[in-house]
Structure 1
């Protein structure tokens, strides 16, 4: 849902831009729009704060993933044990 103004954006648009900005994909005009929204919208500020905290937590976590080949082997082993 777009608003009529180029500078004033909806809360939904601000959330979308915030998400893009977290991944370095937001353009300068979008960042400007987001910052203007942050001045007057408590809900958007809270969303940005939670989003930053979540991103930082994930970045600092010690999550380890398995490769696609390991995943495939595990799936085949599971299917074998289930008799499929």
Structure 2
């Protein structure tokens, strides 16, 4: 099957959608994605869900552990695990 110059597959559109979310998609890729969004309800739904997920994560203000805290927690876990294995 010959690959189209202008029209993209659903999988390619999903990949471009993910890239566009992080501002990594080129202008040409964004154009092809917009064209696909006009006629493909599956890609449109994927794009909508992707946007909602990104907005939800931004609103949640999730705070991750710092590297030192993570290492300390891991060492405490390893000590407790070693104690349990000795019993």
TM-score (norm 2): 0.88
Higher gyration radius (CA)? 2
Distance (whole Å) between structure 2 residues aligned to residue 9 and residue 32 of structure 1: 11
Confirm or deny: 8 A CA contact 1:3 1:10 kept in the other structure: no
Report the secondary structure of 1:14's partner residue. helix
Aligned-pair RMSD on alpha carbons?
Answer: 1.5
Report the secondary structure of 1:82's partner residue. helix
Match of 1:40 in 2: 39
Give 1:12 deviation, angstroms.
0.2
Distance (whole Å) between structure 1 residues aligned to residue 52 and residue 29 of structure 2: 21
Distance (whole Å) between structure 1 residues aligned to residue 28 and residue 63 of structure 2: 36
Confirm or deny: 8 A CA contact 1:7 1:33 kept in the other structure: yes
User: Alignment length, in residue pairs?
Assistant: 83
TM-score (norm 1): 0.91
Structure 1 stretches of 5 or more lacking a match? none
Alignment of 1:1-84 (within 5 A): 4-83=3-82
Structure 2 stretches of 5 or more lacking a match? none
